[in-house]
Structure formats: structure tokens, C-alpha cells
């Protein structure tokens, strides 16, 4: 296997890990406004991801760093052309992280309500825009012969990309519901399952439409295969949730996200950023890559440190595996 292909696969794996792990983070963040009925329940939801959310975001940092080092042309074109949506995502992630840390600093209703709004918005915006960004990357954007993006922000808001954004928003929401059902006890657990199934059924139409659209666009058998696997795992997640098999339902939504991401990366390869103006101007794993020597050094670093990172994160999930409920939250009386 060529090193350029190896690094394309590794970056795809990093993105899949980020979307699966941060996906339920985003879902739980949106549930702070959609599921919780009082401040105690909101604290339960936040506590389910409290030890995990910042570690999950490391996958994004590593994916970005790997792209910069392995495919600098891809990184340059992507971050210049997608500057505004990526800036909005960055601002949302910053606001969301600050909200997690600051909402408990004062014992006032208005203070916590405002930070809760920040958590919901800071979770929903990236959930929507990551779908828009990934869909544009796969389908192609206006890139000239110098590998520079020559479109506008509104070129990114095409029907295919917006449909992808709606799908990622809905799927992450359902993913978060099943994570909450897995991590909580009592009434909030059952309400999370019911809400996840309801939203999942509603999201099925847009999700299937996006998968079919992608299959028609890309035409490859592997794209259709992983799209079909995504549909099967999505249906399985809803059935397992109705059967109160929370762990299996959560695994199924994880597989749904992973299969959709694999479908997109399979459709993209060997390009890393196609040009909608002229296929001869596509950025590929060959013309966008770093030197062979750089890739060799990076490969040795990845082989040594990737297993260590995976073992550490797996250990952290194991440590914080127990369920929580409102009975585990100390009672507070909030001031106005």
C-alpha cells in the first residue's frame, strides 16, 4: 500500500472516530433543551458526557493536524474555501466548551438558562455544518487549476449539502438519545428512548434520500454497499431501542454514522477534494500530499502512538461506564 493511500485511510478513520464519538456529544447537548424538564435533569445530561466530551474533540484536532502534515494542499484549499463555515463551527465549539465549564459557577436560574442555550446552539451548529462541509468535499466545489477555491459561501449551501446537514443533525440527535438511555436510570432514560425512536423515524426519509443521491452521484458499488449497511443499522437501532436494548441500539447508531462516513470517503477516493469546474483540477492523494520522507516519519509516529491513545481513551470510557440519575445529583435551590 502506498503511503498516500495509508494516510488517506488513517485520516478517514480519524474522522469516523470523531463523528461517532462527538456525534453523541452533540446529541446530548441538543437534548439539554429538548429532553430535560428541570435543572436537575439538565445536570444529569451534562454529567453523562462531562468526563468524555473534551477527549472526543481531540479526534478532530488530530484529523486536522494529520491533514495538514500529510496533505498540505488539501488542508490549504479546504481551510481557505470553507473558512466561514469552519469559523462558525470553531466558535460554536468554543462557546459550547465554555458553557459546560461556566453554567455551574453561579446558582441563578437566568445564568444557567443562558448557558444552557449556548450548549444547545453550540451543539446543533457543528452537527449541521459538518454534514454540509463533508457533502461539499465529496461532491466537489469550484477549484481552479491552481488548486484555489473560487466559489462563495453560498455555493456551499446547495441542496445536496443542506440535505446532508439535516441528516447529520438528526442522526446525531438520535445518537445522543440512545447514549442518554444507555447512561441514565429512571424516567429520563425511558423518555430519551421514546424521543430517539420518534426522531429516528422522522429522519429516515431524509437519510435514505441522501444515501440514494450519493449512490447515484458516485456510482460505485462500494458506495451503494455502505449506504445499504447504514440503512440496515439505522433500522436495527430503532428496533433495538424499542426492545430496550440500549447498548445495542447505541452501537447500531454508531455503525450508522460510521457506514455513512465510509460511504463518503469511498466515494471521494482517490481524490481528496474534487473540482466541480474541471476534473483535471481535482486535488488527489498524489498531487496534494507531502514528500515521501515526511510521510515515512509520520507513519512511524502514528504506529507508535495511536495504540497508546486508543488504550487510554478506552480506559476512560470504562472508568465512567456507570449509569446516573437525578438521585445522584445534589439538591440545589436556584435563585432568580
The predicted structure's pLDDT at residue 334? 62
Name the pLDDT band for 2 (thresholds 50, 70, 90).
Answer: confident
pLDDT of res. 313: 84
Is the model more confident about 328 or about 246?
Answer: 246
Range from 38-52, 60-74, 119-133, 307-321 that averages highest in pLDDT: 119-133
Q: What is the pLDDT of residues 263-293, one digit of tens each?
A: 999 999 999 999 988 888 999 999 888 888 8
Q: Given this model, what pLDDT does residue 336 score?
A: 64
Q: Which of 139, 168, 171, 170 is nearest to 155 (CA)?
A: 139
Provide the pLDDT for residue 335.
57
| Long-range CB contact pairs, 90-95, < 8 A, 24+ | 92/121, 92/122, 92/123, 92/125, 92/126, 92/129, 93/57, 93/122, 93/126, 94/122, 95/121, 95/122
Q: Is the pLDDT of residue 309 over 90?
A: no
333 has pLDDT over 60: no
Q: Give the confidence band of 325 by pLDDT, cuts at 50, 70, 90.
A: confident
Show the cell assigned to 218: 458516485
What's the rounded mean pLDDT across residues 60-66? Answer: 89
Give the pLDDT of residue 284.
Answer: 92
Q: What is the pLDDT of residues 135-175, one digit of tens each?
A: 999 998 999 998 888 888 888 989 999 999 999 999 999 99
Mean pLDDT (whole number) for 179-204 = 92
**What's the length of the chain?**
336
What are phi and psi for residue 231, nearest 5 degrees?
-65, -45
**Is a pLDDT exceeding 90 seen at residue 305?**
no
**Extended strands (E) in the chain:** 271-273, 283-284
The answer to whether 274 touches 280, Cβ cutoff 8 Å, is: no
Enter the C-alpha cell of residue 217: 452521484
pLDDT digits (tens, 9 = 90+) for 248-258: 999 999 999 99
pTM (two decimals): 0.93
* pLDDT score for 106: 84
Q: What is the mean pLDDT of residues 28-35?
A: 91
Question: pLDDT confidence of 8, banded at 50, 70, 90?
Answer: very high
Q: Sorting pLDDT into bands at 50, 70 and 90, what band is 52?
A: confident
pLDDT for res 38: 86
Q: How high is the pLDDT of residue 330?
A: 73
Cβ–Cβ contacts within 10 Å for residue 79, how many? 15
Residue-wise pLDDT tens digits, 86-95 = 999 999 999 9
| 186: confidence class by pLDDT, cuts 50, 70, 90 | confident
pLDDT score at 179:
94
Task: Output the nine-digit C-alpha cell for 167.
Answer: 441528516
pLDDT confidence of residue 174: 95
**Lowest-confidence pick of 16-20, 282-286, 330-334:** 330-334
The predicted structure's pLDDT at residue 303:
87
Amino acid at each position: 500500500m502506498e503511503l498516500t493511500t495509508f494516510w488517506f485511510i488513517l485520516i478517514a478513520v480519524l474522522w469516523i472516530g470523531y463523528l461517532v464519538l462527538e456525534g453523541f456529544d452533540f446529541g446530548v447537548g441538543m437534548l439539554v433543551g429538548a429532553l430535560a424538564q428541570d435543572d436537575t435533569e439538565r445536570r444529569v445530561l451534562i454529567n453523562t458526557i462531562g468526563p468524555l466530551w473534551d477527549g472526543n474533540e481531540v479526534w478532530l484536532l488530530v484529523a486536522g493536524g494529520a491533514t495538514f502534515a500529510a496533505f498540505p494542499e488539501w488542508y490549504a484549499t479546504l481551510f481557505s474555501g470553507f473558512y466561514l463555515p469552519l469559523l462558525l463551527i470553531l466558535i460554536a465549539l468554543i462557546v459550547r466548551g465554555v458553557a459546560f465549564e461556566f453554567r455551574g459557577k453561579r446558582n441563578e436560574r437566568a445564568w444557567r438558562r443562558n448557558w444552557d442555550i449556548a450548549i444547545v446552539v453550540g451543539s446543533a451548529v457543528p452537527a449541521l455544518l459538518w454534514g454540509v462541509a463533508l457533502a461539499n468535499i465529496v461532491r466537489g466545489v469550484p477549484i481552479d487549476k491552481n488548486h484555489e477555491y473560487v466559489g462563495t459561501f453560498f455555493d456551499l449551501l446547495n441542496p445536496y449539502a443542506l440535505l446532508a446537514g439535516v441528516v447529520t443533525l438528526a442522526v446525531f440527535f438520535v445518537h445522543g438519545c440512545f447514549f442518554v438511555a444507555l447512561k441514565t436510570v429512571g424516567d429520563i432514560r425511558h423518555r430519551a428512548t421514546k424521543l430517539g425512536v420518534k426522531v429516528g423515524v422522522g429522519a429516515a426519509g431524509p437519510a435514505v434520500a441522501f444515501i440514494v443521491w450519493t449512490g447515484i452521484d458516485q456510482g460505485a458499488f462500494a458506495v451503494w454497499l455502505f449506504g445499504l449497511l447504514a440503512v440496515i443499522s439505522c433500522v436495527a437501532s430503532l428496533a433495538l431501542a424499542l426492545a430496550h436494548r440500549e447498548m445495542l441500539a447505541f452501537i447500531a447508531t454508531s455503525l450508522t454514522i460510521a457506514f455513512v462516513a465510509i460511504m463518503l470517503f469511498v466515494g471521494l477516493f482517490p481524490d481528496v477534494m474534487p473540482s466541480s469546474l474541471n476534473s483535471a483540477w481535482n486535488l488527489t492523494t498524489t498531487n496534494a500530499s507531502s514528500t515521501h520522507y515526511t510521510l515515512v516519519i509520520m507513519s512511524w509516529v502514528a504506529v507508535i502512538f495511536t495504540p497508546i491513545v486508543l488504550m487510554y481513551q478506552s480506559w476512560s470510557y470504562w472508568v465512567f461506564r456507570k449509569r446516573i440519575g437525578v438521585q445522584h445529583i445534589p439538591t440545589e435551590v436556584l435563585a432568580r
